[in-house]
Structure 1
C-alpha cells in the first residue's frame, strides 16, 4: 500500500479526537449509517459531529508556533452530481484544547451516488517565517479523516419533481410517472425525471418521510422503485441500439441502463432479455419484480 509522504511535519493522530457523524432527522440524532437506501433527491442532509483538538500539542508536533493560524474544515464530494464544496470552516483556537461542534447541511439536489465527507485540519494562512520542517502554504493538510455514505441503494436514483397531475396529460389519480429520454447518449441527470403527483397523498408522503419511513412508506417506495426499474429495463430493451456491445460514456442514460441490467440480471445477455420480454411480457415483468426484491427486508 502506497502512503503519501508530505514535505512537512504532521502531528500524530492522537492530537485529534473526532466523534462519529450523526444524522439529524426531525431534530433527532442517529449514527450516520453506511448507506441510505430510501434516500431521494428531495431529502436534504443535516449532519453533526464534535471534534476535540489538543491545539497546543498539534501545533507543536507540526513544528508550528503557538499562534499559527489553523482551521478545521469539512469538504464534501458527491459522485452522482460531480459536485464538491466546502461545508464549513472553523478556526482552531490557540488554547490547550478546543472542542468544535460541526454542523453540515447539504441540499439533496446537489447529491447522489457516493457522498464523501472529509474532515480536515489545515494551515489557514501562509507562514512566512518558521521551522524548515513545518508547513508553510495556506491549505496544507495537517490532519484528515474521510467518511463515505452511499445515497443510492439497489433502486435507481435520479431527480424527481412534485407536480399536480391535473395540470398535465397524466391521469389525475396516478401516483407517479417516469419521464425517460430516447437518447441513450444523453446525461442521465437530464434524461430522466420522476414525477410525483401532489394529489396522491400516499405517494407524496412516502417521499417526504424517506429519511424516516414508516412501514407504509417503505412499502410504497418499494413499489415505486420496482415500477421505475421495470420501466427503465423495458425502455432499454425496446431500443434497437441497446446491446451488449454498445459503449456509452460514464453518467449517460445508456451507461445507467446497462448498469441496471447487469445489477438485476447478472450473466444474462441483452438479446436474451429482449427475447424473454417479447415472448412473455407479463412473466418478464414478474422477473423484474423478483430481481428488485419488491417488499424485501433489505
Structure 2
C-alpha cells in the first residue's frame, strides 16, 4: 500500500506555497529499488527506480522540474490479470515525455488496459511556461492536479485545497486518508511561511511516520481481513512480513517558484527490526 497527501495553496493568499505534496511508499523490504536521484537515461527526471526483474525500470513516483510535472502511481485492489504489464512503466514513460496527461493517456490506453488496476496521479506545475505580467514579474506556479484510473478509464481534475489518495478509488477513501488530510490541514494552516520551512518539514515527516490506527474501516477489513489493523495507519510496519513503509517523499513548491524535493528512505539491505534511514535532498528554481 502507498499513500499521498496534497496541499494546493495557490489560492491561499496567506500561504507562501503553491503546492505541498507528501507521500509514503509501502513495499516488500526485499524488493530491490534505487533511491531518488536524477535518472541516467534522462537527467531531467528525479525519482526512484523499481529494480525488480520484469518491471522494465519503472517507478512509483518521479518529478521533472524542467518539464514541470510529477507522476505517481498507486496500486488498486482487483483481480490480477494474467501476464499483466508493468504499471511502473506508466510513470517513467510519462515523466520522460512532453505530452500533456490527456494525450498521454490516449497514447498508452491499450497498454494500460493490460495492467492490473491502478490510480495514476499527475501534477502539472508548469515550469518553463509561466506567464509574465506587464511589470515583468513572474506569475505564481498554478498546479493542475489530475488522476486517471484504468478501472474507470476517466481523467479527473481536482480543485480542492487538500487532497489524499491511497489504494482505493478516490470516491471511496480509506479512513487513514481522511485522517491524514485533517493532519495536513492543521500543519499547513500553521506553517505556510518560508521562514517556518524547517518546522514544516519536521511536522510533515512526523505525519508520514504516524502509526495511529484509523479504524473501523470496513473497506480495508474486507480486503485484508488478516492485516487490516497493521494497514490502517499512515506508516505501515509489518516486520514479520518484511513489508511496510520504506520511503517518505516531501515536495515543497513556493509561490516564487522554488522547489525542495526530499526523500527519506530505508537503506538496503533492510533490517526490519533496526532499519537505517538515509536522506536525499534536491533544490530547484523553476522561475528565473
Higher relative contact order by CA 8 Å / sep ≥ 6: 1 or 2?
Answer: 2
Q: TM-score, normalised by structure 2?
A: 0.25
Q: TM-score, normalised by structure 1?
A: 0.25
Q: If each structure's strand is expressed as a fraction of its own residues, which one has the higher value?
A: 2
Larger radius of gyration, structure 1 or 2? 1
Q: If each structure's helix is expressed as a fraction of its own residues, which one has the higher value?
A: 1
